[in-house]
Structures are given as C-alpha cells and as structure tokens.
Amino acid sequence: MRISIVVPAHNEAAHLKECLNSFIKQTYLPNELIVVDDNSTDDTFLIAQGFAQQHNWIKVVKRFSSDEHIPGKKVVDTFNFGLEHASEYDLIGKFDADIVLPNNYFEVIVNQFQANWKLGMCSGLLFIKKGHKWVYENIADKNHIRGPIKLYHKACFNKIGGLRAGIGWDTVDILLAKFHDFETLTLPDLLVKHLRPTGHGYSSKNYRAKGIAMYKMRYGLVLTKIAALKMAWQTKSPSLYLFAILGFIQSYLGQTSKYVTKKEGKFIRKYRWKGIKSKI
C-alpha cells in the first residue's frame, strides 16, 4: 500500500529532528513524507531540507500564511496545501512534527488495513512524559484517533470529503467515517511519544472554539454540555466548560455554518447518545 504523509510544521525546530528520524527508522517506509513549513521563523525549514537532501522520499514545501493563530483551521489549511503536492497513495497520513513513532508503526497499521477492507482510519496512542515515565495523554478515550497521528484509507478520506478547516476537525472526521460505515481503530501497543503535550498555551479563545465546533457538528445543547463537562474533567479545567458553552451559544445566536448536513447531524447525535448510554 502506498503511503503519503503530510506534516504541517510551524517553528518546530526543537522537535523536528527526532520526529523525522522516527520516520526514517520505520520497518515499512512511507512512499513520501511532505513537510510543510508554515511561516516558521526558526530553523524548521533548514532541518527539513537537510533530511530531504539525504532521503529522496522526503519533500519540503513552504507555505506563506498569516501569523494569526487560528485553532484547527490553520493546521488543516497547511495540511491541504501539502496534500496538493502528494503523489498517488492508498493511505494518507496527517502527522504533527512533535511526535516520535515506534519503528514498526506503519508496518503494523498497514497489516490492519490489508486485513479489514472496512477500516477507514487507524492510529496508535499518544503518550507524554511525566517525570521519568511515558504515560497515556489522557485527554481523550483510548478509542479516539488523535489529530497528530492520523492515517486514513483513501476511500474513507474521499468519502468524508477531506478535513474540515476548523477546531474539531479531528472529531468530525471520525463521526463522518462512522456515518459512511467505515470502521476506526486505535492500537494500544503502538506507543507514540508526544513531545509537547496538547493544550500547552491554550486560552479562553481555544476553549470557546470547542463549543463552536460542537455546534458545527450539530450536537445540540444537551450533548454539548455533557461533552464539555467531560473535557473539562479530563483537562482539570473548569473554565473549559464555561467557555465551550459560551462558544456554542454564540454560534447558535450567530447561526454559524455547520460542518455536517442535517442527516449526518442526526446520525452523530444518535451515535453519541448510544455511547453515553453504554457507559451508564
């Protein structure tokens, strides 16, 4: 199976070498890895270029965008820019520049895709360092495929219409995959090191954007309250709940455009409620 990986990177000089080295050491090498340098002011481009000069399957492209931090949208726009430079592929990956993969990452995942024709998305799990140990980054259930390490089958990626440019893109893609009858899978034995924990530097704007995302996914107010409460508990941030609800209400009053159709939204609500009831 041909694998194409896109790595959006903005000022990732501190982690990029370790990240790219973990790709080079794979027992099943990707056919191409495209690093997209998005307006970096550090040595991100030079580091990526050094790897590209030594490995012909690594490419580096520059993207010039605004300096404004737009949660979700900026990384998806950068990914899509890189996707325009991709060759033919069977599996398309969106990976962050601050992760370190185990050496057998793609070998194990390719075996899963080959064994199950209904598998649409697959990944390992993210771990962060606490003291001298690597522990699970507990901001999502272990069956949730996290944004920094996503691998899609082309059929699934095309069916869901690619990625939504905004916060929540790495949740709505899973829900749409389910809607189109694809399966998703996380492999707990594939431990991926996350060198920079998620949420570092998060602000009230980021938290409010989570509520906006839930509105765009047509959760409804009750589901949004439950989801926001769960996230606030996992991140130990009570303000997340308050700002998420505020974001939802502001989106409702402003009639913000949705990520999904009414039919897709109905499926998403039913799927979410089924998951909640199974845990009661």
CA angle 58, 64, 70 (to 5 degrees): 105
Give the pLDDT of residue 99. Answer: 97
Q: Sorting pLDDT into bands at 50, 70 and 90, what band is 116?
A: very high
CA angle 195, 196, 199 (to 5 degrees): 150
**Residue 261: both structure tokens together:** 């159709």
Overall fold of domain 3-194: Spore Coat Polysaccharide Biosynthesis Protein SpsA; Chain A (3.90.550)
* CB count in 10 Å sphere of residue 28: 15
**Residue 44: both structure tokens together:** 């991100």
Contacts of 177 (CB under 8 A, 6+ apart): 120, 121, 156, 159, 160, 183, 184
50-101 residue pLDDT tens: 999 999 999 999 998 777 667 789 999 999 999 999 999 999 999 999 999 9
Q: Sorting pLDDT into bands at 50, 70 and 90, what band is 200?
A: very low
Contacts of 105 (CB under 8 A, 6+ apart): 22, 26, 124, 190, 192
CA distance 160 to 98: 26
CA distance 120 to 145: 11
43-52 residue pLDDT tens: 999 999 999 9
Helix segments in 98-220, DSSP class H: 105-115, 154-159, 169-179, 204-216
174-198 residue pLDDT tens: 999 999 999 999 999 999 999 998 7
CA distance 84 to 91: 15
14-24 residue pLDDT tens: 999 999 999 99
**Do β-strands 183-194 and 99-100 pair in parallel, antiparallel, or remain unpaired?**
antiparallel
136-177 residue pLDDT tens: 998 888 999 999 999 999 999 999 999 999 989 999 999 999
Rounded (10°) angle between helices 204-216 and 238-254 = 50
Give the pLDDT of residue 91. Answer: 98
CA distance 243 to 184: 30
Give the pLDDT of residue 199. Answer: 62
Give the pLDDT of residue 203. Answer: 52
Give the pLDDT of residue 140. Answer: 85
Domain ranges of the chain: 3-194, 204-278
Q: What percent of the chain has pLDDT over 70?
A: 96
Give the pLDDT of residue 198. Answer: 79
Residue 110 has pLDDT above 50, yes or no: yes
220-234 residue pLDDT tens: 999 999 999 988 887
CA distance 37 to 60: 7
Residue 201 has pLDDT above 50, yes or no: no
Read off φ and ψ for residue 76, nearest 5 degrees: -70, -40
Give the pLDDT of residue 205. Answer: 67
**Residue 259: both structure tokens together:** 């990520």
Residue 207 has pLDDT above 90, yes or no: no
